[in-house]
Structure 1
């Protein structure tokens, strides 16, 4: 049944360069993917994606996050809508994607595959609309470690807190508080993965009240805790050293 479903599903997502689509078996191996997915997985074509797992295509810390989401979906059997994921864009930089995931079931009611579609939040269409908020986004990136408030952002945007909230919700789909938290999580992610700084220090540097707050927010947005992210990264580094000898 799934091979018959794959072609019409794929036709919906081809020609959409900012939308990633994939079907993954419950064994964790990709069955089909569109060109946008292949490019972000550093593959020349969708055919090169088939049969591979997330760990074969993405950085270990990203793969661990995706697999944690899949495990939660299989356990709950409920669609995951508007989940945030960090994905490596074609230019090599990390970016936020909004992802929907759903189980595909067979005639016997058992799960057969996971369908996922992810949209780049910084697509050209979106960028054209958020130019008026560019200064606020830059400000948050420069001051994420400080106790930022909506009132402070509104002053910098030269508008009332209420107007700022409405414009951000309309153009970004985020409240000011959500933007601040997302930037803090992204910055914490980089430090957890690319440094040996203690997690408690990362939490305070990135503007979280304490390590527990950082852990809760990172796990909520990425599906995996900072401690697990660091463990996956270190294990991958150790494996690479073993293979190089």
Structure 2
């Protein structure tokens, strides 16, 4: 099939961006081009100013001399900018191929890959996009693919996106990566869902020299000591003498997740080690990871890994 542009897949007009829903009149996005007198140039050092969680604040980003603002949580590029992106052959593919810690993909209504970036291709142990197109996740990642396909079809059937879901996935070689995964339905001009676009972003290793990491030391030690019990985030925050708001900010600065996600990550990591390295029963592992209810442990483990504990042990041993 050669080098493919995913702009031509799955849409009669050959443009996946055109298939996405156009901004509504209520969308408060302002895009100012450099030809207007109201434009303000930003230095290359300026980045997105993220809004405070839970508040309708203004978020600002720069992109090629454009200023994009949003009041609230929704920010979209208008048709003009979409046109700029899609009229340059191969630009979008090249941009996503330059992200070594992001898996990006587009799928059709059956959950078949239409396009994937180079990072996903590499981690699937394949050689090129031709070996991905037309396959499903269970064919690329047998360990957890069936659950991923079911999740894809749920997004396509319901139209509800998945945002920043913390999950642990495994490559073809057995390497494990924690990531934040998001999936969004794609729509055509008639508002029909024609597929989905998704990405999974690797969680970076925490910087132990970061000032916020040092402030979290007492909190982290308390959590690690209490993993085999019913440790609560509020208890750990009180023990570390930090407010819940401050704790949330510090944890996100260092680990890029919420405190609740961090606790779940630690418990699942411990469960993975015990499943791989011991012959303990799954019930005993559940208790050792702080779950009083075996079924609750299995549900949480499957949410994170797309496998049951028994399936994970079978795959890894």
What TM-score results when the alignment is normalised by the length of structure 2? 0.58
Does 2:154 match 1:72? yes
Give a deviation string over 1:34-70, Cα, whole Å, max 9, x none: 111111212233332222221222142x213322321
Indicate the residue corresponding to 2:242 in structure 1: 161
Give a deviation string over 1:164-218, Cα, whole Å, max 9, x none: 4431133334343431122213443566689875432231122112113213433
Rg larger in structure: 2
- Give the aligned CA root-mean-square deviation in angstroms: 3.7
Q: Given the superposition, is the C-alpha separation of residues 43 and 143 from structure 1 closer, same or farther in structure 2, using an over 3 Å criterion?
A: farther
Does 2:110 match 1:27? yes
Q: Given the superposition, is the C-alpha separation of residues 93 and 232 from structure 1 closer, same or farther in structure 2, using an over 3 Å criterion?
A: closer
1:108, 1:43 → 2: CA distance? Answer: 36
Selected match of 1:133 from 209, 213, 217 = 213
Q: Which structure carries more relative contact order (alpha carbon 8 Å, separation 6+)?
A: 1
- SS at 2:134 equivalent: coil
Q: Summarize the alignment of residues 1-245 of structure 1 with structure 2, pairs less than 5 Å apart.
A: 2-3=8-9, 4-5=14-15, 7=90, 9-60=92-143, 62-88=144-170, 92-122=174-204, 127=207, 133=213, 144-150=227-233, 151-152=235-236, 159-162=240-243, 163-188=246-271, 198-222=281-305, 224=306, 226=308, 230=310
Would the aligned equivalents of 1:39 and 1:90 in 2 still touch at CA under 8 Å? no
Give a deviation string over 1:112-166, Cα, whole Å, max 9, x none: 222111111116xx648858538666875676324434445776xxx52324443
Would the aligned equivalents of 1:154 and 1:164 in 2 still touch at CA under 8 Å? no
1:99, 1:34 → 2: CA distance? Answer: 15
1:81, 1:192 → 2: CA distance? Answer: 29
What TM-score results when the alignment is normalised by the length of structure 1? 0.72
Aligned length: 227
- SS at 1:161 equivalent: coil
1:40, 1:117 → 2: CA distance? Answer: 14
Q: Given the superposition, is the C-alpha separation of residues 203 and 36 from structure 1 closer, same or farther in structure 2, using an over 3 Å criterion?
A: same
User: How far has the Cα of 1:105 moved from its partner?
Assistant: 2.3
Instruction: Structure 2: give runs of 5+ residues left out of the alignment.
Output: 1-6, 17-89
Q: Given the superposition, is the C-alpha separation of residues 211 and 129 from structure 1 closer, same or farther in structure 2, using an over 3 Å criterion?
A: same
Instruction: Structure 1: give runs of 5+ residues left out of the alignment.
Output: 238-245
2:282, 2:116 → 1: CA distance? Answer: 36
Q: Given the superposition, is the C-alpha separation of residues 137 and 187 from structure 1 closer, same or farther in structure 2, using an over 3 Å criterion?
A: same
Structure with greater helix percent: 1
